[in-house]
Structures are given as structure tokens and as C-alpha cells.
Structure 1
Amino acid sequence: MRAPFLWSLLFAGGLAAPQAASSTSSASASACTGNTANDRSTWCDYDLQTDWYTEVPDTGVTVEYWFEVTNTTVSPDGIERIGLAVNGSIPGPTIEANWGDTVGYHSHFSLQAWEGVFGPIVIHGPASANYDEDMGPVMLSDWSHQTADALYTYAQTQGPPELDNALINGLNVYNNSGTITGSRWETTVTSGTSYRLRLVNTAIDTHFKFMIDNHTLTVIAMDFVPIEPYETEYVDISMGQRYDVVVTADQDEGDYWIRAIPQTACSANDNVDNIRAILRYDSSSTADPTTTAYSNMTNECVDEPYASLVPVLAQNPTSLVETDSSDMPVTIGVLNNLFKWYISAKTMAVEWGNPTTLSVYGGKTDWTDNDHVVELATANEWVYFVIETAQGVPHPFHLHGHDFWVLASGTGTYSDAVTLNTANPPRRDVATLPASGYVVIAFYTDNPGAW
């Protein structure tokens, strides 16, 4: 989905004067004509069946945001450490515009995103289920009391470290040697009202199960894509994924835990049973909830069931083209005594002073193994990739610049006997490669660039 009216600018501290996260031309967060609590499927002259790959509204609005990134002391769970704040906050301010879905912004230099340079983007538009109010983003983040840079050497020599905590919308508590520090994020609802929550997993190494005790979640979107609504007690959400859900305040008035439960099947967290926020029916209440989590869960790092992820706008990949790089085995290895992930027996070594896009612009064609470039020379065709691993560890992966279609996913070794789903398969930009398994994706080569 393209949003030509959204222009996000990010400056390092000292390069931009301190300003609020306001725009020079504000985007309206109010609903477009026809979009009401009783019918969220329309948006002015557009609706959920509009093919946003070929047609987008021309609003004539440019939204320009100015950010100041500062190196400062932060304590989102009451334990102080050095971090990077955007306009003084972690997560950073919400960017809002109109038409579309929910994504996030973050720094792409080194590990700055997990020092604090990240935040939500909300682009208002049609939805596949009705709701009364938009509660906004719910950001799920893991957190260490050391900086991400400080953990980098450990991760390369010992493997993924145990993280200290996790945050919901930038807050949580922590048991510091018997002293409880920090505070929890809270939100208040009105009985009988339905709310849209925009879940974003911004973690560096944590797969969450998200739930609100005693409440049913109706899932209406994944990543960029509105889907046919389905109900669930909890949502599996991997790093980088986004799900929009609707929840109705239909329980007895009281206080309820909101939970983001780290899945220890694929990561470690010191506060695993206490990543919580609070949903209150009475804003004057200060009591801790006494509710319990749903119990029919398996500790695992998987995507939501693909059979449930049905895009409203049907798109069928056709005439799939096999490339020299269609098979992409994922392995783990050691290079110069450092732990590395490999794709097709290569591990990328980024040259910060020589960006790939600049090299393409300069006409470079002699790519090395360190560059790890997959060239797709033909525009406007469907290509597919089989990504598989023998490692007993799941791993998320993301494609920039495109949605991809998930044609198959499973455990074991991929073979030609696997049936590919080409009839409106799930469409997204982040998927989980199963442990000792495979995933097959396809996408259309209509967005040239270095991705």
C-alpha cells in the first residue's frame, strides 16, 4: 500500500531544533465521509474492494513531522539506563495520516531501534469490521537494562541473551531485588462500547501472545492487509508483525489484565509472567486486577493460523517464475568465532559507508558474497522463494517494499509434493519460518529498488 501524502522525516539530535511531533499540514484523524461506527467498510469514494496496489486517494495533503532524537537516561520499568528518545519519549510520537493501515517507524542504523528510536504510524481508512472508537496503537516491546549495543558482543559469541523485561506502550513494572519499580500502561473503557486496538510487535527477540483476560478479540487486519474478521482468545504476534483487533467492553465492570506473554520456546525473558497492562471499566479504580489468563495455550512461536488470514481484497498470484535464487536454505554458523545466520550459505556484511542503493545508482553489477544481493531483472512478474531450515528454531523474516503472498508453510523438508495455495493466500510483509520447516512466498516485481 502506498501513502503518497505521508512524508516522515527523522533527524539526529542537534541537527533539528526541538519541536513537538506536529505537522506543518495536519492530517485529519476524523473519519472520511461514509465511514461511521455502523459501517467502517467505506472511505469517501473508496472501500475495502478498492485495489490499493493500483489506486490510492489523492488527498493533496503532505504531512511533515520533525523529530529530535536525544541520547538520554530512560527508565520505562523504573530501572535507569541510557537510551535514545524521540521527542523525549519511548516509543516515539504517533504519526497520523489518512487511508490505509497501521505500520511503524524505526531507525535502520545499527541497533538504534532497540535503544528507543521507534514508534507507530496510523493511517486511517476503511476496516473489515465495525467498531465505536479507535483506541490507537498498542506497542509491544522487549527491554533490557543494558543497551542493545552492550548486548551485541554477547549475542555474537554466546547466542541470544536473556532480556530483563518487556513493555506495553512503553511501560511495565520490574521486581528489583524485592522492590517493585515502574508502572503499567492503563486504559479505560465504557461498558457496551467496541474499540479498535492496533497491535505492533517492536521487539528485538520476543514472540508474544497477546490477550485481554475474559475478552474475545476480533482480528480485522494483518500487517498492511484488511482480512475477513475472525474471533480468538489471543493473538500470536512475531517481531515486526502488526494485527488490528476489535474488542467489546462486554464483561462485568471491573479491572482486567492485558497480557503480552513472551514465548520461551524461542527466547528468554526474566519477567515472563508479568508483562501486563490494565483495562479498567472505572477510571477512578487503582486496584490491580485479579483476573486469570486464558489457559488453552501452547508455548510456541508460530503465526496465526493461515486458514484464518483471508484478505478481503482477493489477489491471486499467477504464472510463478522460478529464479536462480528461488531456493533459500537458512542455517546457523560461526564465522571468525562469531555466531551468524546464513541464507543460501551467505551472511551479509553491511558496509555502512557504502549503501546498496547508492551502489545501484552508481551502476555497480559485480556483487560479492558479503553484499548478498539477489537480482530480479524482470519487472512485472510473479517470483517465488522457498525459505527453509533444518534448525530447530523459528525465525521471523520481513520483505521491504512489497507485500508477499504466503503460498505454503509447514514443518519438515519442502518438496514438489507440497500444494501451493494460489487462491487468495494470506498477504503480508512479515512471516515466521517454522522451526525445522519451510515457508513459500511469492511477490510481484512492480516496485524497483534495493530492498
Structure 2
Amino acid sequence: MPGVNDLSDIPLTTAVVDKDQLQQAAHLQEPLPSFHHGVIIVDFDPNMRLQDVLLAAVIARVYGNPDPFSEAKLETPAGGFDWDPAEADPIDHGGYTSSWHHKLHSRDEASHSGLTFHPEGAPGNFRCHYPQLDPDIWESCNRANSRTCWLRMKRPDSEGRIYGYDIHTNYEVAAPTGVSRYYTIDVATGVIYPDGFPKQALLFNGTYPGPRLEACWGDELVITVKNSLPNMGTQIHWHGIRQLFTNDMDGVAVTQCPIARGHTFQYKFRVLQYGSTWYHSHYSLQYSDGLCGPLVIHGPASANYDVEAEQTLMVSDWVRDSAFSEFHQEKTNEIAKANVKMDTFLLNGKAGMNAVGGPGNSPRDVEAYSVTRFTPGEKHRLRLINSGSGATFVVSIDDHEFTVIANDLVPIRPYTTDRLVIAVGQRFDVIVDGQRDRTGNYWLRAQPADGCNAFKKGVFNSTAGANTTYPLDTRVGIISYPSLRSLALPTSLSTTTDFSCLDAQSSMVPVVPWTIAREPLNPLSLSTFYNARQTVPDQTLGQSGNYSHWLLRLDPNIEHQIGKSMHSPFWLDFSNPTLLNLTGAAANPSYNIVYYPYRREGFIYMIIDSSLLPGTHPSQLGSQIVPNRGAHPMHWHGTDVVILGQSNERFDPVTSPGTWNYENPPRRDTVVVPGGGGYVAVAFRPDNPGVWLVHCHISWHASSGLALQMVIQGEEGVEGGI
């Protein structure tokens, strides 16, 4: 046994200490240092007294090696410690005292390291680790025939109860406590050739898409972002992560200043949801130039599968020139040019047939595509993300069907379809059967949805006629079965015929149900917003003298009731975030604020209409405003919303609510507002304090002002502002 001050010969490991256990068990007289989400990271070195190491190790019950990706450091002997309460002695700990003892006994590492296991689909050295769960009592139950389960007790407790975490656990109320996972991301420029043309892109850690970040349900992510861009700030948004009580970690201009050139910023937040999502720059148009990557949170699933595909599938449209340059050219031209025209589209950064030498030239080989390998007879989980700038895609696999199990981090009851409509910012988790008699390769297709796209070679529209020549090839990826033909291009044919822009909302039934009150907490008329496009004079923009932008404005017929004008777009001062100026003289006087009283246990309704009010002429609105003719994928930060109603028909405040679904409606964070006079009606709980954005995820529209911000106060009875 080593001496009290001698740890040099003891193998050391890392672990995380839980603050609540430490505080209670040690009977500390002085408060501990600040904590984040109930976890204290304690760093001991071999020169510190053994009593100090022992105290933290015994109280936290954390021994052995937890997660190899965690940098939380509690240096403890690899065999762990044991103790005898009868031999406890007072120990002085420099400012506080404890009545704990320090008699050592060797213990088996496995029984005291917490529950550790490898989740399906994760890298080989990745482990989920739950240090508070004793592996003698708890087990991982997520297997090929039990994917709905995640963690459970091995046997009933003394009262015959078995606890656990599974697909039916309400993750907004309960989640297991994992560990802190540390990542470092460097934001820099680099030249890439995704479609054969060089582009000076913006990259995460030198790659496009950026590296896949992994976590387990209940983990805390600690991500250090370094800005190595030569002439721009940056900030990173963790798309769809609820950020419960961590609004300042949302990574947007209303919550933080941009990360300055040469500086770093550390994001720290807990992941209470699970599933597939992505992270991307939220600084102007940076993600359209390459700053995006997948984020996977391992957890249960609503249907069984055997294996997970080795890569997340990110489909996107792509512009070869700088997005900033293209944006300036398009938005300063005549009003008819409302969108930047894209050059091509990609799957995981590859263009396939749309690369140089594509249609009309020599066929590409398999290496020009993103390839996903299937095993005959096994069920494969795929994670699909639209990380593009403007186009909605209809995704399909020739001769295969999808079993859809999640949308936007919301587990849903499984349903089967041969196509998925994925708008910008949306995500789906699906299961695809690897059929036993399959060999060779099959095309994975991404067809731009009718009217919901814009390319330099034209606009995709499958209803234009039988002789329509598509401007680009829709074959973007390959599903490959092992065979002698695995290196050959597929010859499969598509049978998909429906390329409409709206998805199958009625099929998306959440596993954890919400029932929505038919009477909202806010006056319905005051929460009706209209989105339109506006051209205003601007003498700084050169010869055209006009600037085309989008706005999300209140119903002009009711503005006199609140004395506000909402005809201006939503602009941000990047150097002065709203979160720092909620009250007092420092608040931005140009903000148009509408206050709603609310109760956190209820729901707020919001209706977004894509048309002008009947009888309203643009001249009444102070500048040239035209009705919106395109669909808009609206993204809510800080909350999921339920889709009460979604229609291509005009919203009627009297008759429309009678057609809505109030019993467990579809729930997600990115919802399509139909164009050409349609609307969407959503509801959400105002229970996450902070400043949250609502914006169109077409990057050109968000950068043109198609957004609003919600300020949700943290106290009961305090009004919230939009």
C-alpha cells in the first residue's frame, strides 16, 4: 500500500464526479465551486494528498476508466477504493471538513466504474458511460430485437419495481445522466472540389461536411470552437438541440457576439434529446459555403434494426462561387430574382453525375458518389439531413422502402413510405431492409421538390410535362450490396412519381404524446404573421438602387390595436446581442415588440400565412411588397412545435381552427409554410426562458430578414415578448 502522499506507482484513470453526491456525502461546510448541470470536474495530480483523492473517489462511486473521449479528470487508482464507515476519521480539506475515512481496500474495477457500453453505429472506441448507474443493478438493453429500450434495472427493487429509460420516457422531463464529452473544432478556409470545380470554402477541421460529433442520451457536450478565418467572425448553432436553460449556448446573434478572428469560444450544454441532427454556422451565409456537419445522439428507437449505416447522409444544394458574392448579385437585382440560383447538389460532399463530366459526358465511376453498404437480410438504420441552402428534396432508394422512426429528434410511430420530403433543416431517421435476394448496386436519389428549388440550369418541376428535361441528375448516392458487381454503377430505375413540396404530416405521430388545448393562451389574432418580399431604395447598392429582402410581419389590419409597425425586416446588431439587452435603456429602440402574457404550463399558438390579407394593396404597406409564392421551411430555436394545421388554402380565423389536429399532432422544430397563399398553424410551450429565433431556413431568406425573435421570461406571470 503506498504512503499517504505517494501516488506515483498507482495507475491513474479519469472520471467525472457528481456534485450533488459530493456535496451531500462530504457534509461540506463551504460551497463548492461553480457547476454546470450538476457535474463537477475535479482534477487531482499525483502530488496531492491521498485523502483528497479518496474523498472524491469514494463519494462519487466513480472508478476505472469511463469514456476515452472525456477529458474530465479525476485521478484515482485504477482498482478503485473501498472504505469502512466504522473506521472513518475527520479529514481536513483546506477550508472545509469531512467525517469520511480513508482506509483502502482493492476493489474490482468493473463493478465500480458505472455502466459502460458501445452503442450501435458509433466508432469502435466510443462508449456510452453512465457513472451514476451501478452495472450490478443496471444494464444496457438496446439490442437488435429491443431498440425501444435504452437502460433498465436488471431485477426488481425491494418493492417489485423496475426502472429504466426507453422510447416512452418523456425526455423533456427525465433523461439519464451521462458524462462530459469534449470536442475541438477549428473554423478555417480551404479549397475543395465537391463537384470537380474548385471552391474556396469554409471548413470545420478542414473537411466538408465537418466531422461527425457523437454523444449519448443525457451527455454534456463541451465544444471549443476556434475561429481561424482570416476576415470574419463566426458562431455555431446546434440545430434542434433544445438548450433547456442554456439559451446562451444556442450559438446565434441574439445570444452571443461572433467569435472574433483568432479567438475561441466554449459551448457547453446537455443533450436531453436523442437522434440525428447537425451543427452549422449561424453567422450570415457561412454554412452555405461549407460550415456544417452531423451531430448524432445515441438513444432508443421506435423500431428494431440490426445495424446502422457507417455514415450520416447529408444532402444539400451547392453554389460554386462565394455564397456572399452570389447573394449580393441576386439581391441587388430586380425584384423578380428573390433566390440565389444554385449550381448543383451533393450527398456528403459528392456530386456524382453532376460533377465535371456528368450528364452528356463520360459516365462517372462509383468513387464519385457517396456509397452506403448494405448486408442482405439485415435492417439498416439511416440518418438523413437536408443541410442545403434553399432546395427541398424528395429522397428515395430504387426498389426499397423506408420505415420512418423519427423526425427532427422526435421519435414517431413507425410508418412505411417510398419517399421522404426533406426541407432545409429537417432530419429523418429511417430503417431500410437489406433484402436477402439483393445483389449489386441501387441508386439513392434526391429529386428537388416541385417549385421548392432554384438552380442556374433551371427549376425542377415534375408537372411540366412528360418531355421535361431535368437540369441536373437526381442520382446522388449508391446503396451497395456485396457482389462481383459492387464496383459497377447501378442500373436500377425509379418508381417515385410524387415530387410535391409538402410532406406526409398525418403519418408523423410522436411516440410521447402531446394533447393541445383548443383555447390558446394568447389572443389568436395577435399571433398571425405574414411573410412577403419587399423592395426598398438603397443608394449604397450601386446602379440598381434597390434591395430585395424578406420580412415576417404582423397582420397589418390589427397593428393599430398595439401601436406598432412591423413593416421593416428583422435586422441584428451582431456586436450587441438581445440577450444582453432585455431591459433598460440599452434595449434596441428599433425592435418592434409585442407582449403576450402567458402561463408556462399552456400553449402559445402562432399562425404564419404566405399571403397578403384580402383587399390589402401593397401601397398601403409603405413600400413595394409582393405576396409570397414559395414555400418556407421555418425553424424554431429552443422548442419543438406541434403542427396544428398546414394547408395550401388561405387561413381563415373562423373556419380554419375547426380543421386542426389537437390530439398528438406532428411535432418537430422545422416546419414548411406552403407558398402561394397557404399557411401553417403551430403551438408551443413557453417554458424555456431565453431569447429564441424563429426564421426561414433558406439561408438567403434568413439573411434578408425573414425572422423574428421570441423573448420568453423565466418567471411565472411575467409577460413574454415577440
Does residue 406 of structure 2 align to residue 221 of structure 1? yes
Read off the aligned partner of 2:688 and give its amino acid letter: N
Within 2, Cα distance between the matches of 1:400 and 1:4?
Answer: 20
Structure 1 letter corresponding to 2:346: L
- In the superposition, relative to structure 1, how do residues 330 and 231 fare at CA in structure 2: closer, same or farther (>3 Å)? same
**Structure 1's 90 and 233: CA in aligned 2 closer, same or farther, altered over 3 A?**
same
Map of 1:291 onto structure 2: 492
CA distance in 2, matches of 1:187, 1:375: 50
Which of 344, 350, 353 in structure 1 is aligned with 2:575? Answer: 353
Query: In the alignment, what sits opposite 1:43?
Result: 150
Q: 1:447 aligns with which of 685, 688, 693?
A: 688
Greater strand content: 1
Contact 1:162 1:268 in 2 (8 A): yes
Shift of residue 282, structure 1, vs aligned partner: 1.8
> Is residue 79 of structure 1 aligned with residue 197 of structure 2?
yes
Match of 1:281 among 472, 478, 481: 481
- Report the counterpart of residue 71 of structure 2 in structure 1: 24
Aligned partners of 2:410 and 2:668 also within 8 Å: yes
| 1:218-263, Cα deviation, whole Å (9 max, x unpaired) | 1110102101111111100000001111001115211100111112
Equivalent position of 2:303 in the other structure: 129
Among candidates 88, 95, 101, match of residue 206 of structure 2? 88
How far apart are 1:264 and its partner, in Å? 4.6
Output the CA distance in 1 between the equivalents of 2:305 and 2:643: 29
CA contact (8 A) 2:522 2:597 kept: no
Task: Map 1:103-118 to 2 at 5 A.
Answer: 103-118=277-292
What's the TM-score once normalised by structure 2's chain length? 0.57
**Alignment partners' CA distance in 1, 2:38 and 2:190:** 32
Matching residue of 2:347? 168
Q: Report the more deviating stretch, 373-382 or 338-347.
A: 373-382
Q: Does 1:257 align with 2:257?
A: no
CA deviations 1:261-284 (Å, max 9, x no partner) are 112512223453244111110276
Partner of residue 17, structure 1: none
C-alpha contact (below 8 Å) 2:439/2:483 kept by paired residues: no
Q: Distance in 2 between matches of 1:28 and 1:66?
A: 24
* Distance in 2, Cα, partners of 1:4 & 1:236: 37
Residue number in structure 1 paired with 2:171: 52
Query: What's the offset of the Cα at 1:293?
Result: 1.4
Structure-1 separation of matches of 2:207 and 2:533: 36
Task: From the CA coordinates, give the structure whose radius of gyration is larger.
Answer: 2
Task: Tell me, in whole angstroms, the C-alpha distance in 2 between the residues paired with 1:5 and 1:73.
Answer: 43
Distance 1:363 1:34, change over 3 A: farther
Using a 3 Å threshold, how does the CA distance of structure 1 residues 275 and 151 change in structure 2: closer, same or farther? farther
* Counterpart amino acid of residue 279 in structure 1: I
Q: Percent identity of the aligned residues?
A: 33
Asked if 1:203 is matched to 2:424, the reply is no
CA 1:194 to 1:383, structure 2 compared with 1: closer, same or farther past 3 Å?
A: same
User: How far did 1:162 drift?
Assistant: 2.1
Deviation at 1:137, TM superposition (A): 1.5
Counterparts of 1:342 and 1:261, CA distance in 2 = 29
**Which structure 2 segments of 5+ residues have no match?**
1-35, 40-67, 74-115, 121-138, 152-163, 218-273, 458-470, 538-545, 554-566, 612-627, 693-722
CA separation in 2, counterparts of 1:147 and 1:372? 33
Q: Does 2:552 align with 1:343?
A: yes
In the other structure, the counterpart of 1:326 is 527
The residue aligned with 1:18 is none
* 1:180–1:73 CA distance, 2 compared to 1 (3 A): farther
- Give the direction of change, closer, same or farther, for the CA distance of 1:5–1:328 in structure 2 (3 Å limit): farther
Q: Do the aligned residues in 2 keep the contact of 1:172 with 1:275 (CA within 8 Å)? A: no
Give the 3 Å change call, closer, same or farther, for CA 24–116 of structure 1 in structure 2: farther
CA, structure 1 residues 63+379, in 2 after alignment: closer, same or farther (shift >3 Å)?
farther
2-structure distance, mates of 1:172, 1:219:
26
In the TM superposition, residue 154 of structure 1 has moved relative to its aligned partner by 2.4
Letter in 2 for 1:24: E
Deviations 1:311-355 (A, max 9, x none): 011111224112474111111111231111111133111111111
Q: CA deviation at 1:290?
A: 0.7
Matching residue of 2:315: 140
Judge conservation of contact 1:388–1:437 (CA < 8 Å) in 2: yes
Question: What's the CA shift for 1:38?
Answer: 0.4
For the 8 Å contact 1:347–1:372, the answer to whether it is kept is: no
* Superposition deviation, residue 379 in structure 1: 4.8
- State the shift of 1:175 in Å: 4.7
Q: Residue deviations 1:105-156, cap 9 Å, x none? A: 0111111111111111100111111100111421111111111111111231
* Alpha-carbon distance between aligned partners in 2 of 1:192 and 1:4, rounded to the nearest angstrom: 43
Contact 2:168 2:511 in 1 (8 A): yes
| Alpha-carbon distance between aligned partners in 1 of 2:166 and 2:280, rounded to the nearest angstrom | 29
TM-score by length of 1: 0.89
Which residue identity is paired with 1:253?
T
Are the structure 2 counterparts of residues 211 and 295 from structure 1 closer, same or farther at C-alpha, using a change threshold of 3 Å? closer
Q: Show the counterpart of 2:637.
A: 400
CA RMSD of aligned residues (A): 2.5
Query: Across the two proteins, how many residue pairs are aligned to each other?
Result: 430
Change in CA separation of 1:43 and 1:164 when aligned onto 2, cut-off 3 Å: same
What SS is found at the alignment partner of 1:176? coil
* Structure 1: runs of 5 or more not aligned: 7-20
Q: 1:389 aligns with which of 594, 605, 610?
A: 610
